[in-house]
Amino acid sequence: MTKQTPLILLTVALLSNSFSAIGQKLPNKQETSVYAPADIKIDGKSTEWNDKFQAYNHAVEAWYTISNDDNNLYLIFRSNETEVTQKIITGGFVITVSPVDKKSELTPVAMNYPVVPWMSSQVDYLLKPSGPVKDADVKFLNRKINDQLKEIKISGVKSIPDGSISVYNDLGIKGAHLLDNQKNYTCEMVLPLSFIKHLIDDKGTFAYRVQVNGIDLKTTVIVGGRSASDPAAPSSDAVPHGLLYDTSPTYFTATYTLAKKP
């Protein structure tokens, strides 16, 4: 074994971990119910998921998995593209839960995370250069974002009239996110089922909408459009990464049925 072999093996391991999700052939929207792992941790890592996801959505340009256990609803998502990551950190992901019945007059429940001031959320300048990000820069970026992360926005919950709660709340509403050296941005959100049980039908099914806000400049919403950076995207569907993309919310809707404990 040469002196270079350990370095080569380490590089291969890192790349394998980075592309484990990318290499999956996934549907645009999650198709199955998933019971959350018993060892699930809300730490911005996908270790308990073996770095695999249930879907890759082309509207929000992220891998994601929705799961549940007997008490909570979980959402984990990942971006591996600098412009997308910047957009997510700028405006956050919003998951909105509503009844499947579109005629229902019940108020949907929405959770928005992360919520970081724009001037404190700029990370793209350290992510754009090719190659892995230096350890010191990764540590700096994660600290920069988390130091400004004070609240989680919540709507549709009568017991939270102010529309936001501290990230250190005792309600079981949680979020965590993390950037790594391979430019993977992973974010996790937890919403107790007790807050949405009235929106779930007798089959355990509800509708949900996942949206990436971007910078709020009151611009157009892009529904299902793919960015021009995706080589597989038809030219008619491509949405260039630029001011319009950065400021325009992108979203998709789907339904989910609660999984039963195995």
| Residue ranges of domains in the chain | 5-257
Q: Quickly state the pLDDT bin for 236 (edges 50, 70, 90).
A: very low
Helices and strands (H and E) in the chain: how many: 5, 14
Task: Choose the weakest-confidence range: 81-90, 156-165, 196-205.
Answer: 81-90
**Maximum Cα–Cα distance across the chain:** 68
Say if CB 199 and CB 99 are below 8 A apart.
Answer: yes
What average pLDDT score do residues 243-259 get?
A: 87
Structure tokens at 211: 């949206």
Bridge-based pairing state of the strands 151-155 and 164-166: antiparallel
Name the DSSP letter for residue 35.
B
**What per-residue confidence (pLDDT) applies to 241?**
57
DSSP code string of 171-237: SS-EEEEEE-TT--EEEEEEEEGGGTGGGS-TTSEEEEEEEE--S-SS-PPEESPEETT-TTS-TTT
Percent of the chain exceeding pLDDT 90 equals 62
pLDDT tens digits, one per residue of 128-168: 888 999 999 999 999 988 888 899 999 999 999 889 999 99
Say if CB 72 and CB 192 are below 8 A apart.
Answer: yes
Structure tokens at 31: 């198709």
**What per-residue confidence (pLDDT) applies to 214?**
74
What average pLDDT score do residues 228-244 get?
A: 47
**What per-residue confidence (pLDDT) applies to 102?**
93
Listed in sequence order, the residues at least 6 apart from 9 whose beta carbon sits closer than 8 Å to its beta carbon are none
**What per-residue confidence (pLDDT) applies to 204?**
98
Residues across the chain: 262
Task: Choose the weakest-confidence range: 97-106, 172-181, 209-218.
Answer: 209-218
Listed in sequence order, the residues at least 6 apart from 260 whose beta carbon sits closer than 8 Å to its beta carbon are 35
pLDDT tens digits, one per residue of 8-20: 444 444 444 444 5
What average pLDDT score do residues 189-212 get?
A: 98
**What per-residue confidence (pLDDT) applies to 20?**
54
Q: What is the pTM of this model?
A: 0.82
Bridge-based pairing state of the strands 93-98 and 109-113: antiparallel
What average pLDDT score do residues 2-29 get?
A: 58
Q: Quickly state the pLDDT bin for 119 (edges 50, 70, 90).
A: low
State the DSSP H helix or E strand holding residue 14, giving kind and residue range, or none if neither: helix 5-19
Instruction: Please report, as a single letter, which amino acid is at residue 48.
Output: E
**What per-residue confidence (pLDDT) applies to 79?**
95
Percent of the chain exceeding pLDDT 70 equals 76
